[in-house]
Chains A and B, each alone.
Chain A
Amino acid sequence: AQSVSQHNHHVILSEAASLELGCNYSYGGTVNLFWYVQYPGQHLQLLLKYFSGDPLVKGIKGFEAEFIKSKFSFNLRKPSVQWSDTAEYFCAVNAPGAGSYQLTFGKGTKLSVIP
């Protein structure tokens, strides 16, 4: 079974600061990796995803993530955060090739950006 750990429960940053949110997963096989975002009062939206190929993936709103297979990591980054990035961020993984179709989520990281 897979598991996902997100290192930070709550991150507080000032606008224009750089962001890195950690995500590690445990599964030895081929995986799909995702970051979802939930803005206050809104539903989960896909931020970015990795299926194969270039391990550096770019998503919406200037976010990017790097898949490092040797570290089982898929950290989320943004060079300069804005107040509108205040939200909860969830890392998720599945392995459909191994019969694991559902997403396994981390517990989420709340990001608060102070103007």
Chain B
Amino acid sequence: GAGVSQSPSNKVTEKGKDVELRCDPISGHTALYWYRQRLGQGLEFLIYFQGNSAPDKSGLPSDRFSAERTGESVSTLTIQRTQQEDSAVYLCASSVDGVKRGRRNEQFFGPGTRLTVL
């Protein structure tokens, strides 16, 4: 497909378990972003990839959160030892180029993964 895809669409897990969330960006997009949307809140930035390096990890809330990206393709966000406050919708976005101003910086969002930690 032409858009950003994410899997799974829904994930229910027990407190203390690890989870992996996947994002497939639009083909050719070098920049990839992870955001989190908790109930009643706006979107919070988590991490930004340019290619397979992550120049900005400033939004990751704790060392339980990590992410990696393979080349300019798939990214996985891993949450270890999940806590109830991790419950949120995790959104992935991609853009042609993260560093340019203008159209190449326009971000396209995936449908998100709804994570529920019991």
Contacts and interface: CB of A to CB of B under 8 A. Distances in A.
B105 A101 contact: yes
A51 B31 contact: no
Contacts of A46: 106-108
A94 B33 CA distance: 13
Contact of B56 (A4, A36, A52, A101): A101
Contacts of A101: 31, 33, 48, 50, 56, 98-99, 105
> Majority SS of interface residues in chain A?
strand
B109 A96 contact: no
Interface string A81-104: 000000000101010110001111
Contacts of A103: 33, 35, 43, 45, 93, 107
A78 interface: no
Contact of A102 (B42, B45, B103): B45
Chain B, interface size category, equals 20 to 34
Contacts of A4: 42
B33 A32 contact: no
A53 B112 CA distance: 33
Given A96-B100, A96-B105, A106 B45 contact: no
20 contacts: A4-B42, A30-B101, A34-B106, A36-B109, A43-B112, A44-B91, A46-B107, A51-B103, A52-B101, A52-B102, A94-B105, A97-B101, A101-B56, A102-B45, A102-B48, A103-B33, A103-B35, A105-B44, A106-B42, A108-B42
Contacts of B50: 101
B110 interface: yes
Contacts of A45: 109
B50 to A, nearest CB: 8
B56 A32 contact: no
B111 interface: yes
B41 interface: yes
A107 interface: yes
